[in-house]
């Protein structure tokens, strides 16, 4: 007498459901990663190897004695924002090059960054090449 069952178990594993889950997870993480925003400052550091001139930018310099200069013109801390608004008015993509001398307190550099942030100016932090 033959007592074998008619239903045989198939030992092969079907991977289609596993790949569906992996693709759904991939799509989920790709979409959610684009929604993440950083709260860092947008500071562009210039490259030390090349020299680039931007005609639309002006330089704000801060010395150790906390004297502010726009290009080569000395301005006071209180009139700095008004001077920048006058000089950058009507320019497309206005840019400020911030040149803070070594030893200047960070609060003074952040004040210039705050002025740029309020008025939607781009800021480039000037550094000394090595």
Q: How many residues does the chain have?
A: 130
The domain locations on the chain are 43-125
Confidence of residue 26 (pLDDT cuts 50, 70, 90): very high
What does the pLDDT look like over 76-103, one tens digit per residue? Answer: 989 999 999 998 888 888 889 898 888 8
User: Is this prediction's pTM over 0.75?
Assistant: no
What per-residue confidence (pLDDT) applies to 49? 54
Beta bridge mates, 27? none
- Match 């562009």 to its residue by tokens: 44
Query: Mean pLDDT throughout 21-46?
Result: 70
Distance of alpha carbon 42 from alpha carbon 40, whole angstroms: 6
Please answer whether residues 129 and 47 qualify as being in contact, where contact means their C-beta atoms are separated by less than 8 angstroms: no
Please answer whether residues 106 and 95 qualify as being in contact, where contact means their C-beta atoms are separated by less than 8 angstroms: no
What per-residue confidence (pLDDT) applies to 19? 92
Query: Mean pLDDT throughout 13-29?
Result: 89
Please answer whether residues 87 and 120 qualify as being in contact, where contact means their C-beta atoms are separated by less than 8 angstroms: no
Distance of alpha carbon 111 from alpha carbon 108, whole angstroms: 5
Query: Mean pLDDT throughout 39-59?
Result: 53
- Coil, helix or strand at residue 72: coil
Is the pLDDT reported for residue 44 higher than 60? no
**Residue 44, both tokens:** 């562009």
**43-125: CATH, from 3.60.110.10, 3.30.420.270, 2.60.120.10, 3.30.43.10:** 3.30.420.270
């Amino acid at each position: 007498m033959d007592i074998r069952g008619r239903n045989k178990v198939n030992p092969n594993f079907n991977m289609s459901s596993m790949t569906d889950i992996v693709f759904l997870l991939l799509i989920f993480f790709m979409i959610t990663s684009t929604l993440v925003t950083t709260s860092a400052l947008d500071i562009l550091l210039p490259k030390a190897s090349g020299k680039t001139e931007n005609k639309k930018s002006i330089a704000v310099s801060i010395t150790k004695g906390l004297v502010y200069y726009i290009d080569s013109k000395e301005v006071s801390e209180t009139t700095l924002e008004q001077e920048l608004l006058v000089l950058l008015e009507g320019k497309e993509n206005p840019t400020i090059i911030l040149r803070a001398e070594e030893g200047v307190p960070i609060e003074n550099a952040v004040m210039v960054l705050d002025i740029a942030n309020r008025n939607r100016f781009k800021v480039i932090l000037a550094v000394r090449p090595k």
